[in-house]
Amino acid sequence: MTEASRQFDFEGRIARDEKIEPNDWMPSRYRRQLVRMISQHAHSEVVGMLPEGNWITRAPSLRRKISLLAKVQDEAGHGLYLYGAAETLGAEREDLINRLLGGDARYSSIFNYPSVTWGDVGVIGWLVDQAAMVNQTMLTKCSYGPYARAMIQICKEENFHKRQGMEIMAVLSAGTSAQRAMAQDALDRWWWPTLMMFGPPDEESPHSSELIGWKVKMKSNDELRQWFVDLAVPQAEALDLQIPDPELVRDSKTGHWISGPINWDEFRSILEGEGPCNRERIESRRESHFGGAWVREAARAYEEKCRKKKALERESL
């Protein structure tokens, strides 16, 4: 087959909603775009453990500690699925991780904000996991098979994360005046950064049209952001909390909640590495990675030992 006919065949498969699998032919740019997006997503899951991990030793009860531990551990698992999905495209996990540790790789802007109270743990589960789920629910239908399948499992777990966050918020908002204030303060600080998670506005998103054309992204950044706002506003009302947006208004014709302007300068400064916790996050990842070298070494030695044992067993048969 010529390059042109392969390309034609590939476009036809995308149009028919067929999944593209690792051994199938794909344009090199489709592969590069997927590695970029999946690796950024994997890094987000791993760096995303840090703000909540900060509260594991300070969770207010054993029950809270157990569910927070389980949640943070799930995020590590999501990172593993996603690095695995990137590897099916020929990427080397070590290279991807080295780029993150070197400060050259992107991960979600949201994880560069500090988690300063227990209310932040509630709001991360409620809003950040919900935003991730809105985005990832669409990705379960994306054209690349391993990514779509990873998203199905991840969304099931994110749903539990969202519920544990909402439950924390429900308890705080129905609690003492100090607890209510803590819940409101957390919402005030995390609302706008959560809206930024969906990426720049459509007209400033360089990758969207290509990715939507290939059915990697199924909806645009602004469409997903709107979907999230429409979900979150009634939830905040049910929690009796105020969304910190004086311009938020419901469009009576469409039923959509329309937000006021987002501070994109803040978003850009985070992408340039100047957010409140950018340096701290990378430093923390570096410490864990280099401090954990002995674990990787031990795991490799054990794997080698098992391989030799199996070879000996085969020889003795």
Q: Does residue 74 touch ligand FAQ according to CB under 6 A?
A: no
Q: Out of 39, 67, 135, 259, point to the residue binding ligand FAQ (CB under 6 A).
A: 135
* Distance of closest approach, residue 112 Cβ to ligand FAQ, in angstroms: 9
Tell me if 221 contacts ligand FAQ by CB under 6 A: yes
149 makes contact with ligand FAQ (CB under 6 A):
no
d(CA 99, CA 95): 6
Residue 95 C-beta: closest distance to ligand FAQ, Å: 16
Q: How far is CA 239 from CA 27, 92, 93, 232, in A?
A: 48, 45, 42, 10
* Least distance between ligand FAQ and beta carbon 33 (Å): 8
Task: Report the nearest approach of ligand FAQ to the CB of residue 138 (Å).
Answer: 8
For position 75 contacting ligand FAQ by CB under 6 A, the verdict is yes
Max CA pair span of the chain: 78
Q: How far is the CB of 24 from ligand FAQ (least distance, A)?
A: 21
Q: Which of residues 21-60 bind ligand FAQ (CB under 6 A)?
A: 36-37, 40-41, 44-45, 48
Q: Is 100 in the site for ligand FAQ (CB under 6 A)?
A: no
- The single residue among 39, 88, 108, 137 that binds ligand FAQ, judged by CB under 6 A, is 108
120 binds ligand FAQ (CB under 6 A): no
CB of 190 to ligand FAQ, least distance (A): 11
Region near ligand FAQ per CB under 6 A, out of 20-28, 197-205, 250-258, 293-301: 197-205
Q: What is the 3-state secondary structure (H, E, C) of the chain?
A: CCHHHHHHHHHHHHHCCCCECCCCCCCHHHHHHHHHHHHHHHHHHHHCHHHHHCCHHHCCCHHHHHHHHHHHHHHHHHHHHHHHHHHCCCCCHHHHHHHHHCCCCCCCHHHHCCCCCHHHHHHHHHHHHHHHHHHHHHHCCCCEHHHHHHHHHHHHHHHHHHHHHHHHHHHHHCCCHHHHHHHHHHHHHHHHHHHHCCCCCHHHCCCHHHHHHCCCCCCCHHHHHHHHHHHHHHHHHHCCCCCCCCCCEECCCCCCEECCCCCHHHHHHHHCCCCCCHHHHHHHHHHHHHHCHHHHHHHHHHHHHHHHHHHHHHHCC
Residue of 134, 186, 211, 229 that binds ligand FAQ (CB under 6 A)? 211
**Among 197, 229, 232, 282, interactor with ligand FAQ by CB under 6 A:** 197
Which residue, 24 or 202, is less far from ligand FAQ as judged by CB?
A: 202
> Binding of ligand FAQ at residue 109 (CB under 6 A)?
yes
Candidates 2-10, 179-187, 191-199, 291-299 — which segment interacts with ligand FAQ by CB under 6 A?
191-199
Query: How many CA atoms are closer than 13 Å to the CA of 256, on its beta-carbon side?
Result: 12
Q: Which residues are at the interface with ligand FAQ (CB under 6 A)? A: 36-37, 40-41, 44-45, 48, 75, 106, 108-109, 124, 128-129, 132, 135, 196-200, 205-208, 211, 217, 221, 271
